[in-house]
Amino acid sequence: MLNHHRLFIPESLEIDQQLTLPQDKAHYIQRVLRLPEQSPVWLFNGQGGAYRATVHHQGKKVLARIHEFDPTECELGLKINVAQGLATGDKMDWVIEKAVEMGVFAFAPIAAQRSVLKLAPARMEKRVAHWQRIIEAASAQCGRNRLMRLDPPKNLEDYLRDQREQLQAPGQGLILCHQDATHDFVQAFAPPVGGWSQLHLLIGPEGGWSDEEVACALDYGARPLLFGQRVLRTETAAIALVGALRGYLHCLD
């Protein structure tokens, strides 16, 4: 499947359907990829599986005729959620893109007390839409047929409150990355009876978590984690931790 170009199409798809591709996808096929008539592509809508189709040019329009469905999935067996403190510049873009590639199930931008990035609601809405496009593009590139869920930005206390019921279910884990923690990797991720079914990783912004946020996370039962002897940058920590976690819990593809 990855030998052909993949396009995210946010609508219902089915075999024998012919659809007109959105303008941006048509431009991508005609002007960027320069695909000739009847070139094969794969379409996916983020709901699972992918559809093999061929493209047909009609002037500036591009049609796609769907021929078959491939139910192949490449999601991790363990659901990993990343709650990432808002970071400056393009760091959030990078973390979100790599989180998709690493198989993260859900991503929550956290307006931490020490986050340098402060955006008004209108600008934040645009930034969230931008992040969603990154998720779609990264999914097309890496072969995922389900989109990583992007949660609305909120502060840490609100995030934990919204997750309260889920965190109380069996197999749920809450991990707080903190440079003053005393639990090492093995201690923090020691699985409960029955193993993990879902993990929530709390990653601070450039300035780290405040004492108040640390106390809040501990009140919700977070396990504090010291991830090695070096202090990682905020844009490195989540991706490095997910990679180490996948290997440790044997959640590789």
Q: What is the pLDDT of residue 250?
A: 66
Number of domains the chain is built from: 2
Residues 135 and 239 in one domain: yes
Which of 70, 102, 120 is the C-terminal boundary of a domain?
Answer: 70
Residues 19 and 83 in one domain: no
Q: What is the pLDDT of residue 122?
A: 86
Residues 160 and 138 in one domain: yes
Residues contacting residue 70 through CB under 8 Å, at least 6 positions apart:
1, 42, 49, 50, 51, 52
CA atoms within 13 Å, Cβ hemisphere of 82: 33
Q: What is the pLDDT of residue 3?
A: 54
- In angstroms, what CA-CA distances link 104 with 41, 197, 198? 25, 13, 11
Residues 167 and 225 in one domain: yes
- Residue 36: give the domain boundaries: 5-70
Domain CATH number, residue 219: 3.40.1280.10
**Per the structure block, which two tokens stand in for 39?**
């070139």
pLDDT digits (tens, 9 = 90+) for 64-104: 999 999 999 999 989 999 999 999 879 999 999 999 999 99
Q: Are 56 and 37 in contact (CB under 8 A)?
A: yes
Which of 70, 97, 125 is the C-terminal boundary of a domain?
Answer: 70
Residues 66 and 85 in one domain: no
Residues 166 and 98 in one domain: yes
List of the chain residues with pLDDT < 70:
1-3, 250-253
Q: Which residues, in sequence order, are bridge partners of residue 173? A: 199
